[in-house]
């Protein structure tokens, strides 16, 4: 904290023009590119995700540094018409020291999105990576030193959430806190930051629906529907964990999904299958308990994937499960599982679809599949979600797209230009020149 404070208040960082800060981010991106294979392997080994997903994470990290490397000098203030004899203008100023508390599901990507936006705007940063997956953060910190960031600009503190994380969130020297993780931890972090009245960005997950109407291109939708829940073993804030299906195509789509689910395989990260291991024994137990509870309550299981033969015993593998039809009030329909568990729900008309989509308290992402243009607009506006995809989902990471939630999914926006506004505050200056 002291190093971050000094770097912000006294170091060269505070006087550095935005374009120079951007160049450092670009240089960091080049270092990441040169280490891409090693970083992908490290992330995959540390988290258990298949190697292909580790590579996709590195590609996203590169895009974040490329995007924010070019963005910091493109945030402009306003001039505001005011009283005669006055000129009023606004500046976007950094908060100061930003604390970033990072989860374990996409450690490297989420570090890059926080680091890119915070540093582009001229803040200094103290990051606490998740105790389950800290290695890529430590490696990128080394690369940042090599890239030439001044000392104290980017700092890493490892440790447990209750100790290091809580100490950071409630530290009086922190000017702004950004967090991605579970809603209860988000509440604890907001309470800690509230003691010092600090601003926060909270990205707290979801129970995101994809709505499939009978006129949709089911062939095009099918791989996207499957990919949106099995990517990263379902340990994704924006996982498409609910599929709402218009009744005339319910049976047909459910059967096609079941056929795909039955062929999905989980196994070691370097075998590069559909799914790797879940992050921890704790997470595996949580996913298994929620799935078993749904099964015990009589929710029909349409298909189960498998864990490959020969997977190391004791590994945190979990075979994906497809439930349907699911009672919209059931726990499995309402709570974020954060595992490869997909629930299907039939619906009869557009208004029921929107009601079901909005029926969980979360509001992060939604997908709408239909060829009807009017309906595309109506449903996209009707669903409460920070991002809505029409005839698609996820857009390959979409680092330039503002991302964040409504309701239980949190507040504030990450990614894109919007994140630069979260990572800065408006100062209004008024000149009385007569
Ligand atoms: P999980 O429970 O699956 O580990 P969390 O949302 O609790 O997910 O963890 C995300 C991040 O939040 C991790 O870096 C973790 O160490 C941190 N964390 C957990 N508890 C706290 C807390 N009370 N205060 C600050 N950070 C925390």
Residue 418 Cα to ligand 1 middle (Å): 25
Is 33 part of any domain?
yes
Residue 107 Cα to ligand 1 middle (Å): 13
pLDDT in tens, 200-245: 999 999 999 999 999 999 999 999 999 999 999 999 999 999 999 9
Is 86 part of any domain?
yes
Domain count, the chain: 2
Is 389 part of any domain?
no
Owning domain of residue 177: 2-205+400-432
Residues 187 and 267 in one domain: no
When pLDDT is averaged across residues 398-412 and rounded to a whole number, the result is: 96
CATH of the domain at 268: 3.40.309.10
Residues 356 and 317 in one domain: yes
Is 168 part of any domain?
yes
Residues 197 and 160 in one domain: yes
Residues 215 and 142 in one domain: no
Residues 23 and 113 in one domain: yes
Residues 201 and 213 in one domain: no
Residues 131 and 182 in one domain: yes
Is 393 part of any domain?
no
Query: Does 396 have pLDDT greater than 70?
Result: no
Is 391 part of any domain?
no
Is 215 part of any domain?
yes
CATH of the domain at 176: 3.40.605.10
Ligand 1 proximity of 99 Cβ (cutoff 6 Å):
no
Token pair belonging to 350: 């557009």
Average pLDDT over the chain, rounded to an integer: 97
Residues 277 and 330 in one domain: yes
Ligand 1 proximity of 111 Cβ (cutoff 6 Å):
no
Q: Pick the catalytic residue from 66, 163, 219, 237.
A: 237
- Supply the pTM of this predicted model: 0.97
Q: Which residues contact 387 (CB under 8 A, 6 or more apart)?
A: 238, 364, 365, 366, 398, 401, 402, 403
Ligand 1 atom nearest the C-alpha of 102 is 14
Distance between CA atoms of residues 421 and 412, nearest Å: 9
Residues 269 and 354 in one domain: yes
* 115 close to 154: Cβ distance less than 8 angstroms: yes
Q: Pick the catalytic residue from 66, 203, 336, 414.
A: 203
Nearest to 8, CA basis, from 119, 120, 153:
153
Is 395 part of any domain?
no
Nearest to 57, CA basis, from 397, 338, 398, 417:
397
Residues 132 and 280 in one domain: no
pLDDT in tens, 237-262: 999 999 999 999 999 999 999 999 99
Residues 307 and 185 in one domain: no
Measured from the Cβ of residue 304, the count of other Cβ atoms closer than 10 Å reads: 14
* 190 close to 202: Cβ distance less than 8 angstroms: yes
Q: What are the strands of the beta sheet with 341-347, ordered from one edge?
A: 301-304, 321-323, 341-347, 242-246, 209-212, 365-369, 387-390
Residues 42 and 123 in one domain: yes
**Is 237 among the catalytic positions?**
yes
Ligand 1 proximity of 102 Cβ (cutoff 6 Å):
yes
Q: Which of 130, 170, 202, 410 to mutate to test the pocket of ligand 1 (most atoms within 8 A of CB)?
A: 130
């Amino acid at each position: 904290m002291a190093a971050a404070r000094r770097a912000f208040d006294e170091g060269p960082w505070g006087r550095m023009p935005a374009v120079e800060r951007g160049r450092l981010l670009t240089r960091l991106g080049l270092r990441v590119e040169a280490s891409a294979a090693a970083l992908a392997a490290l992330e995959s080994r540390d988290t258990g995700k298949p190697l292909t997903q580790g590579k996709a994470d590195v590609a996203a990290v590169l895009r974040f540094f490329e995007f924010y490397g070019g963005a910091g000098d493109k945030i402009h203030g306003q001039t505001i018409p005011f009283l005669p004899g006055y000129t009023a203008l606004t500046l976007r100023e950094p908060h100061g020291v930003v604390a970033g508390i990072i989860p374990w599901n996409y450690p490297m990507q989420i570090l890059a999105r926080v680091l890119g936006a915070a540093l582009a705007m001229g803040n200094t940063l103290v990051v606490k990576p998740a105790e389950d997956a800290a290695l890529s953060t430590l490696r990128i910190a080394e690369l940042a030193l090599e890239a030439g960031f001044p000392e104290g600009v980017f700092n890493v503190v490892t440790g447990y959430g209750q100790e290091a994380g809580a100490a950071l969130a409630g530290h009086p020297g922190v000017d702004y806190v950004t967090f991605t993780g579970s809603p209860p931890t988000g509440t604890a972090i907001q309470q800690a930051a509230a003691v010092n009245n600090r601003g926060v960005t909270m990205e707290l997950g979801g129970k995101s629906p994809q709505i499939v109407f009978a006129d949709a291109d089911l062939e095009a939708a099918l791989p996207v529907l499957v990919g949106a829940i099995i990517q990263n073993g379902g340990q994704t804030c924006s996982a498409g964990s609910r599929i709402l299906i218009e009744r005339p195509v319910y049976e047909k789509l459910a059967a096609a999904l079941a056929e795909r689910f039955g062929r999905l395989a989980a196994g070691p990260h370097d075998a590069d299958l559909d799914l790797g291991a879940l992050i921890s024994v704790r997470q595996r137990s949580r996913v298994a308990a929620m799935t078993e509870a749904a099964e015990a309550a009589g929710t029909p299981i349409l298909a189960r994937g498998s864990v490959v033969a020969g997977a190391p015993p004791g590994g945190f593998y979990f075979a994906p499960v497809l439930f349907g039809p699911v009672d919209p009030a059931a726990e499995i329909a309402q709570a974020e599982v954060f595992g490869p568990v997909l629930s299907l729900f039939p619906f009869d008309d557009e208004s029921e679809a929107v009601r079901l989509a909005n029926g969980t308290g979360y509001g992060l992402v939604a997908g709408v599949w239909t060829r009807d243009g009017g309906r595309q607009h109506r449903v996209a506006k009707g669903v409460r979600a920070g991002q809505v995809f029409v005839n698609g989902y996820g857009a390959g990471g979409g680092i330039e797209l503002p991302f964040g939630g409504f309701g239980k999914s949190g507040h504030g926006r990450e990614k894109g230009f919007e994140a630069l506004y979260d990572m800065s505050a408006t100062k209004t200056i008024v000149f009385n020149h007569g």
